[in-house]
A and B are shown apart, each in its own frame.
Chain A
Amino acid sequence: MIRIAAVGDVHCGLEAAEQVRAQFRSVPDHADVLLLAGDLTRLGTPAEAHVLADALRDLDGVPIAAVLGNHDHQSDRHEAVASILDAAGVRILEGEAIVWDVGGTRLGIAGTKGFGGGFEGTHATAFGEPEMKAFVQHTFGLAERLDAALAGLEAERTVLLLHYAPIRETLAGEPRELFPFLGSYLFAEVADRHRVDLVLHGHAHRGTERGRTPGGIPVRNVAQSVIQQGYAVYTLEPARTRADAGATVPRPSVAASSESGPRRGA
């Protein structure tokens, strides 16, 4: 059994040192890995990243992966935020996939921040003003990178980690006017194409925890305000090859990286 702890939207601020330390202290008792679904910090400053990094540094070797969220970009210091967390052993994923050996099972984690645009039928299109094209092309670009990362991934079980939502269903509770800024169906399409086992996201504070992609893959909105606990725990059975699941041939466009084991920083 693979036990996955997950939470998004921690929004760690300078005042939260003791709170986040207490929040994650019990992770080794409940889970084999920890996944953080973006908005790790409140304002995206290096000082906030240090506060969170200190809380995550010594979780008894539990491997940790994360994606950034919009809050982590607020101060235009997202590269520094990622670097600080990486040095504490948190693998920041952006259009990348890694593989961890968890009790003999190759667990793949693919991650990207994701972005907005909306959902099938009403998704924004790359048409008109340069600003609108840039908005939509950012989303398409991230989805293409994720697609390529999953194409190169060899794992028995796979989790897709996002910040923005891939489906409407887990946004239930949010104002519908906000949906185009809360997610994009492109990431559900990638998840279905590669038959991942579980999709995790955050960002939708007023949303709903549980949903499914059009292809039937479980989606969980793990925004802390939704799960109302320090982290949620999901379990996967250890064995299922992606070939068994009928993985399809994706559209490679951007090189992805993979690793053969948990990466722990200095």
Chain B
Amino acid sequence: MPEPQYERERIRQALATDPRVGEPELSVDIVAGRVLVQGSAPTSEVRVAVEEVVAEVAPGMAVDNQVTVAAAHEPSGEEAIG
């Protein structure tokens, strides 16, 4: 297995360029042998795809998927700029 620093970046590059995810803004860390992914995904489908891509790039490593789907509800107020 490569050093975790390189593995971390290899996973991050895959999450950016694999069309199932396509999110270069996600952060990846390897903590106690587990792949920790954080950030925001546009839909729950993309959030699930994060785990698929990590499983292919780093087979055998557990994934801690902390990616959240950005809220899209109606605004609760407005801000007066002036």
User: Which A residues are within 8 Å of any B CB, using their own CB?
Assistant: 3, 5, 9-13, 15-16, 19, 22-23, 26, 30, 42-43, 71, 74, 175, 197-198, 205-206, 218, 220, 224-225, 228-237
- Which residues on A sit within 8 Å (CB–CB) of B22? 42-43, 71, 74
- B75 with A232: CB separation less than 8 A: yes
From residue A59, how far is it (CB to closest CB) to chain B in Å? 14
Majority SS at the chain A contact face: mixed
- Taking A11-B23, A42-B22 as known contacts, 18 extra A-B pairs with beta carbons closer than 8 A to each other, sorted by chain A number, are A3-B78, A11-B46, A13-B43, A13-B45, A13-B46, A15-B45, A26-B74, A30-B78, A42-B46, A175-B27, A206-B27, A218-B81, A224-B42, A225-B40, A225-B68, A228-B70, A230-B73, A231-B75
- Which residues on B sit within 8 Å (CB–CB) of A229? 71-76
- Which residues on A sit within 8 Å (CB–CB) of B81? 197-198, 218, 234-236
What are 30 pairs between A and B in contact, CB < 8 Å?
A13-B43, A13-B46, A15-B46, A19-B72, A22-B72, A26-B74, A30-B78, A42-B22, A42-B23, A175-B27, A197-B81, A197-B82, A198-B81, A205-B39, A206-B27, A218-B81, A224-B42, A224-B72, A225-B68, A225-B70, A228-B71, A229-B73, A230-B72, A230-B74, A231-B75, A232-B78, A233-B75, A233-B77, A234-B78, A234-B79
B56 contacts the other chain (CB 8 A): no
B80 contacts the other chain (CB 8 A): yes
- Which residues on B sit within 8 Å (CB–CB) of A234? 78-81
CB contacts between A and B, total, < 8 Å: 86
B25 contacts the other chain (CB 8 A): yes
Residue of A nearest to B78 (CB): A233
B19 contacts the other chain (CB 8 A): yes
Pick the most buried of B23, B40, B76: most chain A CB atoms within 10 A of its CB.
Answer: B40
Among A15, A197, A235, which residue has its beta carbon within 8 angstroms of that of B78?
A235
- Which residues on B sit within 8 Å (CB–CB) of A12? 42
Report the separation of the CA atoms of residues A43 and B76 in the bound assembly, to the nearest whole angstrom.
30
Report the separation of the CA atoms of residues A220 and B78 in the bound assembly, to the nearest whole angstrom.
13
Residue of A nearest to B80 (CB): A235
User: Which B residues are within 8 Å of any A CB, using their own CB?
Assistant: 19, 22-23, 25, 27, 39-40, 42-43, 45-46, 68, 70-82
- Which residues on B sit within 8 Å (CB–CB) of A198? 81
- B78 with A23: CB separation less than 8 A: no
- B42 with A23: CB separation less than 8 A: no
Residue of B nearest to A240 (CB): B82
- Which residues on A sit within 8 Å (CB–CB) of B68? 225
Report the separation of the CA atoms of residues A234 and B74 in the bound assembly, to the nearest whole angstrom.
14
- Which residues on A sit within 8 Å (CB–CB) of B70? 9, 224-225, 228
- Which residues on A sit within 8 Å (CB–CB) of B25? 205-206
If A11-B42, A12-B42, A42-B46 touch, whether A237 touches B82 (CB-CB below 8 Å) is: yes
From residue B71, how far is it (CB to closest CB) to chain A in Å? 4
